[in-house]
Structure 1
Amino acid sequence: MPTPALKHAAVACAAALFGDENDEYAKTSLEIGHRRAALAISSLRSFQISNEQDIATLLILGVAMVTFAMHVSDGQASLISHYTLSLIKPLAQNIYTLNSAMIDYWMCLVCTETSECLLKSEVPSMRVDPCKRTHEVDRYLGLSSSIFAQFYDICEAGNSLKNASMATAARVVENLASIKVAVDQWHTTPPSDFLDQYTQAEVVSMLSQAKIFRFAALLIIHRLQYPYGEQDREASMLGRAIIDEFDMVLQITQRSVPCTALPYLAACFEIVESDSRNAALGKMKDIVTFSRQSRVRFEKTLTSVWKARDQGYRFHWFELGQYAASGAPGK
C-alpha cells in the first residue's frame, strides 16, 4: 500500500509532467506539483529506515522527487539525490540484496548525483561496487552501471586537484593515470541471454551508451590533466567519438540514449567552430529529452563555457565551477 508520501510524490510528478507538455495548464499544474512536492520532501527529511521495505520506499520517494525537480526551474535534483543517498549510505551493504528494480532506482540516484559531482569536481555519496554490477542490465544505465565506480574515482581526483597544493597535485595526476588504465580496460559484460531478451534497437542503445560513458570518462580525465586550449587534438577526437555515437543511435532507433546528458555536454565543450556549435545546440532537443528544464540548464551551462573559451580563458575541468553557469545538465 503506498504511503502518503509516495502518493504526494506521484501527484507532484504527474503535475510536473502534465505542465511540461501542456503550456495552457503549466502554471496550474506546477502550483499543484509544488504543494504536493513540499509534502513529499517534508516526509523525506524526516524519513527513518528500520527495515528493507523502508529502503525501497525511500528509493522510490527519492527518484520521484528527483524527477519532479528536473521538470521545474527551481528544482534541486542533485541535492535530493544526495540527501536520499546519505540516508541509505549506512546500509550500503544491503543495497545489493534488494530486488533488481530497487537497485535500478538506487543507480538512478547515483547517476544524478554523480553527474553533478563530475561537473563540480565534488565527491559523490556512495561508490558502486563494480563486481556486484557485472552482467547486470540496468533500467536506466543498461550495461554501464559498473563504470560509475570509475566515475566516483574521477570525482575524487577532480576534488583533490581543486583543493590541492602543488606538492599534492603531482600525486593526484599519478592517480589519474591509474584511473585512466581502469577506464581503458573497462568493458561491458552482458548476460548470456542478452541478445534474446532485448530488441535490436535496445541492444544498439545500450552498447552505444557504454561507449559514450567510457569516452566521456577518458575525456574528463584528459581535461583534468590539460586545460582547454592545450592538448586539444585528443580531446576533440574523444568529443567527436561521443557525438558520433549519439548520431548513430538517433539514426537507428530514433530515440535518445538515457542518462547521457553530461557526456554530451563534455563533448560539446570541445567544439570551437560556430557552425558546429549551432549544430550541437540544434541536436540538443533530440539528445537531452528528459524535460524542458533540463534542456534550459544544459544550454545555460554549455554557452557559459563556450563564452569563457572564446574569451581566451584556459582552465582545467576541476575549475569549471568558475566559468560554467550553475545547474546540472539533466539526464
Structure 2
Amino acid sequence: MRSIDHFLSYFVLGPSFSTNFQSLVEIGLSEYRELVREGCLACAGAVFHARSKKSGFDNINFERSAVGLRKLRRGNVTKRDTGAFLALGLTLATFDLITSGTSAHMITRFTLSLINLSHPSIWMDPCMQSEPLCLIFMDTVECLLRRQIPVIRYRVRDPYLVDRLIGLCSPLLPIMYDVCWLAYESRSRSSLLQQLSPNLFDDLNELVASWRPRPSPDLLSKFSSQEVTCMLTQARVLRMAVSLVLHRLKYPFGVEDRMATRLSTDILSECAICSSIVGEADKLPQTLFPWMMAAIEVTSPEKRLMLLGMELPKSREILSVPTAKMKESIRFVWDIRDAGYATSLFDILEQAPIYVVPL
C-alpha cells in the first residue's frame, strides 16, 4: 500500500472512498493553505506518531494545533471561506481526538456554530458535504451520550448519499437529533415534553426501529461487495445503538434489562461478522459508538474481559488514546452497575472520566 493510501485509509470506510477524499485534502491545501496549514501539519504529525506506536506526542504538533485554534476562534467566516473553516475545524478536532480526546467535541461544536450551514452551496458541492456531515455526526453521537442538543439538525437532501465516514447513515441523523432533544428535555424534566406528546418515547422508538438505509441501485458498481457489507452493517448497528439509547433513557439498569441485552447481543454479533468478513476477526469495529453502547450492557465477567482485550483494526490504529479512554468509561459504568444501583446509564456517564467516542 502506498504511503498516501495508508494515510487516507484512517479516514474512510474503504479504499473506494480514498480518491475523492484525497481530492478534498488537496483542494483544501491548495485553496486555503494559509488558514489550514498548521492544523493539517499537526494532524498529519499526530497520525504518523500514533501509527508508529510511540508513547506521547511531539510538542511541535501541539504548538501547531494551538496556532490553528487561534485562527479558528478569530475567524470571520464568509461565504467564500466556509469550506476553509470547516476543514480547519475538522482537522483540529481530529488532532485532539488522536492525541487526547478531551476537547474534540468542544472544537466540533464551535466549528458548527461558526459556520452558516444553511447556505445551499455547502451541500451542492459533493466535495464539501463530507466535512460538515462528519462534524454533525461527531456532535450528534456525543450529544446522545451527554443528553445535549446538537448544534445542527441535519436536513436530508439526498437519501442515497454515501459518505466516506458514515456510509448510508445520513438519513438517520435527524432522528438521532430528535432523540438528543428528547434526552435533554427528559433530563431537565421539561413540562414541554408532556405537552408535545406523552408517548414521544414510544413514537421515536418506533421511528428508529423502522428506519432502514436506502442503497442506490448502482451501489455495487461503485463500491466493492466488502465495502457494501460494511456500510449496511454500520447502518444496522447504528440504528440498534440509537434504539438502545432510547431504551436506557426510559429504563435504568435493573429494569427491562432483557431488551437491552438482546440489542447488545445483536450489535456485537453484527460487528463480529463484519470484522471477520474484512479480515479483521476479533478486532474492534470501524465505528465504535454502537460497540460502546453494546459493551456497556454486558454482565458476564468473561465476556467483559474479552471485549476489553479487543484491539483496533489496522484502519483505526491511530485512535488508541481515545479508545483506551472509552474502555475506561465502560469499566466505570460496569463498576457502578455491579454495585446494585438501579441507576440511569446517562447519570453514570456524567460522572465518568473524560471521554470522547472515537468515531
In 2: Cα distance, 1:123 partner to 1:153 partner: 9
| 2:34 corresponds to 1:4 | yes
Q: What displacement does 1:126 show?
A: 0.3
**1:325 — aligned with what?**
353
Change (3 A) 1:54 1:19: same
Shift of residue 317 of structure 1? 3.8
- From 42, 45, 52, give the equivalent of 1:22: 52
* Aligned counterpart, 1:285: 312
Q: Does 1:118 align with 2:148?
A: no
**Quick one: which of 180, 199, 207 aligns to 1:182?**
207
The residue that corresponds to 1:215 in the other structure is 240
Match of 1:77 in 2: 104
The aligned counterpart of 1:198 is: 223
The whole-number CA distance in structure 2 between the counterparts of 1:238 and 1:199 is 28
1:61 aligned to 2:88? yes
Within the candidate set 332, 338, 346, 1:310 is matched to: 338
Distance 1:3 1:317, change over 3 A: same
Partner of 1:31: 59
What SS does the corresponding residue of 2:213 show, helix, strand or coil? coil
Aligned length in residues: 325
Matched letter for residue 194 of structure 1: L
Is residue 77 of structure 2 the alignment partner of residue 49 of structure 1? yes
Q: Separation in 2 of the partners of 1:226 and 1:284?
A: 31
Q: Deviations over 1:277-308 (max 9, x none)?
A: 01111225349645111212111110110111
In structure 2, distance between residues paired with 1:58 and 1:13: 15
CA distance in structure 1 between the partners assigned to 2:101 and 2:244 by the alignment? 30
Instruction: Please provide the CA RMSD for this pair.
Output: 2.2
Identity %: 27
Mapped partners of 1:171, 1:326: distance in 2: 34
Higher RCO (Cα < 8 Å, 6 or more apart): 2
Q: In the alignment, what sits opposite 1:298?
A: 326
Does the 8 Å contact 1:86/1:125 carry over to 2?
yes
Q: Is the 8 A contact 1:162 1:319 kept in 2?
A: no
Contact 2:153–2:173 (Cα < 8 Å) also in 1: yes
Q: Give, as a single letter, the amino acid of the residue that structure 1 aligns with 2:218.
A: D
TM, length-normalised to structure 1: 0.91
Residue 190 (structure 1) shift: 1.3
The answer for unaligned runs of 5 or more in structure 2 is: 1-29
Conserved 8 A contact 2:182-2:193: no
Determine which structure has the larger helix proportion and give its number.
Answer: 1
